[in-house]
Amino acid sequence: MGPMIDKIGSCAYSRSRANFRLYLVILFLSCWLLLLYVLSLGTDTRNSKSTKGMDLPTLYEYYTEGGITAGLETLPDTFQLNKKNITIFSGAIHYFRVHPDYWRDRLRKLRAAGFNAVETYIPWNLHEPERDKYDFGHGSSDMSLFLDVVKYIKTAQEEDLLVLVRPSPYICAEWDFGGMPSWLLQYPGLRVRSSETQYVDRVKKYNSRLMPLLESLQFTKGGPIIAFQLENEYGALTEDGSEEDVDYLKFLKEDYEKYGIVELLYTSDNPISHEERGSLPGVLQTANFQINPEDELSLLKKFQPDKPGMVMEYWSGWFDHWFEKQHHTTSVEAFSDVLERILKFPASVNLYMFHGGTNFGFHNGANIQDEFPHYLADVTSYDYDAPLTETGDYTNKYYACKHIVAKYNKVLTKVPSSPVVSKKMAYKPISVTGQLNFNQIIDRIVMWLVCEADH
């Protein structure tokens, strides 16, 4: 048995030596092929504008190269950031509608789609839930966890995004009282969104807490904020024929500036419905709409021939009211068509929304109408049929806008790969073990008030 084994052994040995030489040759050829492939990839990157090249700068490297000398500026046909042309590809994600644990994930998904900015409103009623009690993420209000707006804006910068903020202070946004604190209603004669003294005094107090937080986050101070909005669709207030309170807009501008806000200021309205109402001379006017991009943007250009076009709210979908039969949606085709026509015009754009999220607590707003049921409360979901679902998952709209942005973006920068889809799980059922009727609840509140007063 021994020699047999030897023989087979040596035979195997010599065959394996021959194989080894063959392997070497194959290895050598493979290396060459690999090298040629890598070289050809490099050429491809430069020729085909691929955004995957390893040598591309980040957005911040590109726009801050050689130091920051200027913020966002308007030339007749283009925006410039730090003296370099920029088309703003922005998406709205409200920090107060997304659990903070997911902020980075949602922002990265926006950046991964090729967008260069995120836009957010700032809700006054969450940040000053009780008169003179402020909460910017470290307070005691129920929503405190969601309120670290500074952290959110810094996270956006870490994710290589610029930021557009809309402190307004009225935000509309399908948000309770449009972001106005309910306690404003305790002042007899107070007129919200006007130059009425009591209201202005409260805005001044709020701004004195908010603006210093935003001041150091401005682009020219090394932060990510490139622009600030004044009010919100203020022109719509004149729909009932009332005079426009221009003094109020002037006050807001001066108050922002008092705190060292130096980046570009803008207003946003619908050009066809409101024409130039809601705007302020010297402040960029932007447009809100869902359809007719050429008509809207041409009119905007007629109002301000020396300024570039910007759509502050291109509605990617719509919100829902209780009792409506189904979720409002817009088709991917209609969505893509208008987005492409906006960019072709050419204009910059902010998708309202990129990711809607959730109306937590009882912070959903409502609309009123003449017909029954008159009061239309918004539902808890703010999915908005946006490119990312309420859960933060990708949709066909996501891939469509990623494709369109890549087509119109002339500035090639490094983008991250798309984050993986999150794992979903179901909570175990919870059984209700008790209940209180309305009077029992009232009794408890009274007891609690008495206890508070005793302290």
Ligand X SMILES: *[C@@H]1O[C@H](CO)[C@@H](O)[C@H](O)[C@H]1NC(C)=O
Whichever of 78 and 380 has its CB closer to ligand X, that residue is 78
Cα–Cα distance, 150 to 152 (Å, whole number): 5
Residue 247 binds ligand X (CB under 6 A): no
Residue 78 binds ligand X (CB under 6 A): yes
| b/e sequence 5-22, b meaning 16+ C-beta within 10 Å | eeeeeeeeeeeeeeeeee
Whichever of 172 and 411 has its CB closer to ligand X, that residue is 411
Residues 398/86/313/359 CA torsion (nearest 10 deg) = 60
Residue 77 binds ligand X (CB under 6 A): yes
Cα–Cα distance, 227 to 224 (Å, whole number): 9
Whichever of 57 and 419 has its CB closer to ligand X, that residue is 57
Q: Which of 19, 30, 50, 85 lies at the binding interface for ligand X (CB under 6 A)?
A: 85
Q: Which of 233, 263, 296, 390 is catalytic?
A: 233
Cα–Cα distance, 223 to 420 (Å, whole number): 28
Distances (CA, A) of 283 to 220, 253, 266, 328, 440: 19, 9, 5, 34, 54
In the complex, minimum distance from the CB of residue 298 to ligand X, in angstroms, rounded to a whole number: 17
In the complex, minimum distance from the CB of residue 77 to ligand X, in angstroms, rounded to a whole number: 4
> What mask, x for binding ligand X by CB under 6 A, covers residues 308 to 347?
----------------------------------------
Residue listed under structure tokens 């001379």: 281
Do 81 and 71 form a contact (C-beta atoms < 8 A)? Answer: yes
Whichever of 78 and 238 has its CB closer to ligand X, that residue is 78
Residue 65 binds ligand X (CB under 6 A): no
Collapsing DSSP states into helix, strand and coil, what is residue 199? helix
In the complex, minimum distance from the CB of residue 229 to ligand X, in angstroms, rounded to a whole number: 24
Count, residues near ligand X per rule CB under 6 A = 3
Residue ranges of E strands in 169-302? 225-230, 264-269, 284-289
Active site residue 313: yes
Whichever of 86 and 386 has its CB closer to ligand X, that residue is 86
Q: Which of the 8 DSSP states describes residue 83?
A: T
Residue 6 binds ligand X (CB under 6 A): no
Q: What are phi and psi of 250, to 5 degrees?
A: -65, -40
Do 214 and 220 form a contact (C-beta atoms < 8 A)? Answer: no
In the complex, minimum distance from the CB of residue 226 to ligand X, in angstroms, rounded to a whole number: 17
Distances (CA, A) of 402 to 62, 111, 299, 315, 394: 20, 10, 28, 16, 11
In the complex, minimum distance from the CB of residue 78 to ligand X, in angstroms, rounded to a whole number: 4
In the complex, minimum distance from the CB of residue 142 to ligand X, in angstroms, rounded to a whole number: 48
Active site residue 333: no
Q: Which of 128, 174, 313, 390 is catalytic?
A: 313
Whichever of 107 and 297 has its CB closer to ligand X, that residue is 297
Query: Stretches 77-85, 160-168, 299-307, 386-394: which one binds ligand X (CB under 6 A)?
Result: 77-85
Cα–Cα distance, 432 to 452 (Å, whole number): 29
Residue listed under structure tokens 């805005």: 203
Looking at residue 452, its amino acid is: E
Whichever of 16 and 85 has its CB closer to ligand X, that residue is 85
In the complex, minimum distance from the CB of residue 84 to ligand X, in angstroms, rounded to a whole number: 7
Site of interaction with ligand X (CB under 6 A): 77-78, 85
So which residues are the catalytic ones? 233, 313
